[in-house]
Structure 1
Amino acid sequence: MRVKESTVNDFFALTGTIFSIPVYQRNYTWEEKNCEKLLQDIVSISQNKKTHFMGSITYILHHIDDEKSLRQLQEFVIIDGQQRITTLMLLLKAIETKIPNEEIKKEIDGLLNLSGQKLRLKPIKSDKEAFDLVMQN
């Protein structure tokens, strides 16, 4: 096992990476208070310009072939950190929906989707329908 320290920006900016939630993980259960705490952490980081530990993310790395793009993608099978990753994706979508700046919208879209509008986060089956609806606006 390898341990690597990474920023949230670096983690999400990994191009060609899919985040998969395995079937044995629990459903998305974060309530408003959990989301608010994460958002407060993000605001604090942006205001203080300091690093802040936002929890660990544990994953298993798989390499998969993408038939559409004919390239190899990385799949991070999320073992720990699923709730945070899902919440961050939902937050990014909310920002993308509300922000008027087209350049920032495009940048956020690149964090949320692979080329061809394929979502980078693959939730468990029981969360997929609701997640997909939110991500489609």
Structure 2
Amino acid sequence: VVYCTGIITEYDEVGKCAKVLSSSSIMCSEEGKLRDPNQKVSVHLSNDTVVEARVLFFNDHYGVSFLDINTEFPLVPATLGSKPYYGQNVFVLDRDDEYALVVSHGSILYLEKPLFERNHYMFASYNSSL
């Protein structure tokens, strides 16, 4: 996940709260330690509002964090599916040459079906980072 970017993974219309997948680099030191346990994290929404987030989880090794926000602004979570198909447009979470986590987009080129309870392989073409 790119620094200062977030992906809405869940939104509760009744409670007006959302879960956001983001980067942990804003809250971790170079050594992977939490900079400040009381650090405030702000989330800027597409309607130009800013809300305070609560850190639910972070993992500096993978460079990700989960945040919880409350907002009156309706949000649409990313569609995360588990039934990929040939030719489907997808987002790919991978690492660049320097092992930084990046999000790219592309399409599924080939699927190998599971065999004898083994994992299957999926091959995708993808463009440069978003």
Fold match by TM threshold 0.5: no
Which one has a larger percent helix, Structure 1 or Structure 2? 1
- Structure possessing the higher relative contact order (Cα contacts under 8 Å, 6 or more residues apart): 1
TM-score by length of 2: 0.23
